[in-house]
Structures are given as structure tokens and as C-alpha cells.
Amino acid sequence: KNGKILLTIGDWTWTQMLLAQDKNSIFGKIISIDLQSKDYEIISMGSRNAQGLYYDENRNIIIYTEHGPRGGDEININLYTDNKIIENYGWPISSYGEHYSEKLRKKVPLHKSHKNYGFIEPIKYYTPSIAISEIVRIPITFNEKFTNDFFIGALGYESQINEGDRSIHHYRFNENFDQIIFNDVIPIGERIRDMIFIKEQNSVLLVLESIPAIGI
């Protein structure tokens, strides 16, 4: 909006993960870039590795998906999309996942609460993780029952498809975007790297990574 675009930036490396909590760093942030001036503003912080990003221009909110560590993938909703309130989603202080090494556990323990430490709770988290990827909004033209409906892709392993890997996760949010009122899992059997809704064809295109192929 207003000639700006949004960009997600991960936390760089495990040695610098605390930069996600540093307002003087762009790592672990979502930023808004003014295309004319090239200036940027921090919109949110405390992200590990955001994979999908959707901006709802009607509601002026951001919904994004994020890779956690071992377990702890998240769906987060940002209701404040200007930089007056920089929402903090907790990484690496809080996460429902676990570190990959004992050394990291000693550095930051990953509390199993966000709210108790002043952070925003994810609207959904996955333990075990699904290797979450893109998020796209699917309109009522696709299905007359759809209101605030979204498809979310998953990468992961073929052996863990029963846990939600290699599937499309279908979510419907309530009007205030603070509750999930419907969810379903559509097994695909391939790593879904990216998705896009094609309005003219009323179809969803999927980038299937393993074959590789385009799915419709």
C-alpha cells in the first residue's frame, strides 16, 4: 500500500539469532520498503525464518508462515501493519520447537509460552513441524463456502505425510482473524514449495519440488 512492499528477512545464522530481538538490525524482521525513496521501516520482529507472506489490503493485516526450529512451525497474524506498534513474535526467546544442539539450548532456552514473556502467540503452531511454506488466500469464487479461507503449503518428508507434511493445509479464520473456525488437510504427496491463486482460471498453481512439476 502507498507505494510500499513487504519483505521478510530471516535471523541469518544460529550464531546471530538474537539479532531477531534487536531493533537496530533487520534480521528476523518483516520490513516495509518505500519503492520511491528506498527507505524502510520495521513492521514486526522476532521471526526465525518466514516462508510465506500475505497482505490483506481490505483488512490491512499481515498473515505469514514461519519455519520453527525442530518442531514449532507457526502461522502468525499481524493486526498492526504500520510501524507505530512493532509486534514481537518471540524468536529466539519463545518457541514451541526445540533447538538442534545442546549449545543453543544453553544460549536461549525457547520458552513454551509467548504471551508470558510479552510476545504475540501464533494463531497456529505445529509440533511436530510440517516444514511450512507458502500461504495464499482462496476466494469465494473457488468455493461458495469460502470466506476468510487460506491454503498453506508444506514441504517435509513422504514418510511423515500423516503428520501433515507434503500437503495443503486449508484454514478458515473468523471475521476478526483471531480464531481458526475450520481446518482440513489435503494430502498431495509432494513437497509444495510455492503456490499462487490464478484469478482468471479460478485455480491454484503449485510448485512441486521433488518431481519437479507444476500442479494445478
Query: Residue 101 — very low, low, confident or very high, per pLDDT cuts 50/70/90?
Result: confident
If you average pLDDT over residues 123-134, what whole number do you get? 96
Q: What are the tens digits of pLDDT across the range 22-81?
A: 999 999 999 999 999 999 999 999 999 999 999 999 899 999 999 999 899 999 999 888
Cα–Cα distance between 144 and 156 in angstroms, integer?
A: 31
End-to-end CA distance of the chain: 30
Q: What is the pLDDT of residue 83?
A: 67
Q: What is the pLDDT of residue 20?
A: 96
User: Residue 70 gets which letter from DSSP?
Assistant: B
Are the C-beta atoms of 194 and 214 separated by less than 8 Å?
Answer: no
Helices (H), 21-158: 102-107
Q: What is the pLDDT of residue 12?
A: 74
Q: What are the tens digits of pLDDT across the range 163-192?
A: 999 999 999 999 999 999 999 999 999 999
Name the residue type at position 57.
Answer: E
The burial class, CB within 10 Å (0-12 / 13-18 / 19+), for 73 is: buried
More confident of the two residues 83 and 97: 97
Q: What is the pLDDT of residue 36?
A: 97
pTM, 2 dp: 0.94
To 5 degrees, how large is the angle CA 161–CA 163–CA 169? Answer: 85
Q: What are the tens digits of pLDDT across the range 131-171?
A: 999 999 999 999 999 999 999 999 999 999 999 999 999 99
Cα–Cα distance between 194 and 138 in angstroms, integer?
A: 14
Q: What is the pLDDT of residue 13?
A: 73
Q: What is the pLDDT of residue 14?
A: 73
Cα–Cα distance between 21 and 160 in angstroms, integer?
A: 33
Q: What is the pLDDT of residue 106?
A: 74
If you average pLDDT over residues 184-201, what whole number do you get? 97
As a dihedral over the C-alpha atoms of residue 140, residue 141, residue 143, residue 146, rounded to 10 degrees, the angle is -10
Query: Up-side HSE of residue 73: CA atoms within 13 Å toward CB?
Result: 23
